[in-house]
Amino acid sequence: MAVLDPDQIVRFEEDGPAVVLLDQRRLPAEVAYLTCRSVPELADAIRTLAVRGAPAIGIAAAYGIALAAARGDDLREAAAVLAASRPTAVNLAWAIDELLPEPTVERARELHADEVDRCRRMAAHAAELLRPGTRALTHCNAGGLATGGYGTAVGALRAAWERGLLERVLVDETRPLLQGSRLTAFELEQLGIPYAVIADSAAASLMAAGEVDCVVTGADRIAANGDTANKIGTYGLAVLANHHEIPLYVVAPTSTVDLRTPSGAEIPIEERSPDEITTRFAARNPAFDVTPASLISAIVTEHGAHRAPYVESLAALV
């Protein structure tokens, strides 16, 4: 049983019925599973990041719709509860829409397998962009944990490592919930890829010192013009990368591309509890930011590397 196998990260169990999640809040200290027997329980698990990452929450919601159908729940109500659990990643709404016409476990499993397959395909395309000896920097966790298997940005690094193109990875800690130092480091360790966790604020000076050849991240929602929402801090990295003339690649499946949202200005940004920052003082906690398309060197999907003007190269995806 490998902890990063797709069915370990999220699965449906008929004898329950239940959606079972690897509880990402407890990693890396503990490998523990969370059993959700109802849609409100699953929505709570998504809201509190027991399962997180744009494709993974979509997959979990797909199993949630199948769970609601198996229980005989009102599907519209289940869809509304799940869709409200997190606002920024479009994969959530996308997966729910995919399941509603055919709310079966088989369809949810197919969607899960398709997402993992998309990851493998985009990772191969992304690896082609990297030169031998690449020292990459990544932010948050866009690995198998975030996608239900294999990963987007981490998948690209994994494919590059397997092809002998990757020297090592700098992993942003990713404040405040530490998806980088808890989850990406855990995955890279499991995969045997050399890495070092850095404080988010160390990226600038390491770029200036010539220690970063490219930045590779995932995405939560890509607007029609290529503006991309991802974990808070990605925009700052993109500005830094631009200043140091380092390419920034966004690696994401087409389920993250939202052609109905014209630009980043229309992407809803989740503001989480200030308690995640400090319980002592007043705080603000936007969980995502938007990187303007002009700072993105390429958006890599399962169909290949898309370049500016994104309004044209992304439109070709439908």
User: What region does 151 belong to: left with phi over 0, alpha with psi -120 to 50, or beta?
Assistant: left
207 binds ligand MRU (CB under 6 A): no
Pick the piece of the chain touching ligand MRU (CB under 6 A) from 103-111, 125-133, 216-224, 258-266: 216-224
> How far is the C-alpha of 106 from the C-alpha of 120, rounded, in Å?
21
Which one is catalytic: 220, 227, 258, 289?
Answer: 220
220 is a catalytic site residue: yes
Stretch that binds ligand MRU, among 50-58, 63-71, 75-83, 163-171 (CB under 6 A): 50-58
Q: Toward ligand MRU, which CB reaches closer, 142 or 214? A: 142
The crossing angle, in degrees rounded to 10, of helices 54-71 and 39-47 is 170
Strands (E), 68-157: 134-138
Candidates 58-66, 191-199, 218-226, 296-304; binding stretch for ligand MRU (CB under 6 A) = 218-226
Pick one of 124, 129, 140, 246: the residue that binds ligand MRU (CB under 6 A).
140
Is residue 54 near ligand MRU by the rule CB under 6 A? yes
Q: Residue from 146, 166, 250, 314 that binds ligand MRU (CB under 6 A)?
A: 146
Q: Is 164 exposed, middle or buried (0-12, 13-18, 19+ CB in 10 A)?
A: exposed
Q: Does 184 bind ligand MRU (CB under 6 A)?
A: no
**Which one-letter DSSP state was computed for residue 263?**
S
Owner of token pair 């407890």: 26
Site for ligand MRU in 66-105 (CB under 6 A): 89
Report the distance separating Cα 279 and Cα 195, nearest Å: 32
Residue 108 contacts ligand MRU per CB under 6 A: no
Instruction: List contacts with ligand MRU (CB under 6 A).
Output: 49, 52-55, 89, 140, 142, 146-147, 152, 179, 217-220, 230-231, 287
Just list the catalytic residues: 220
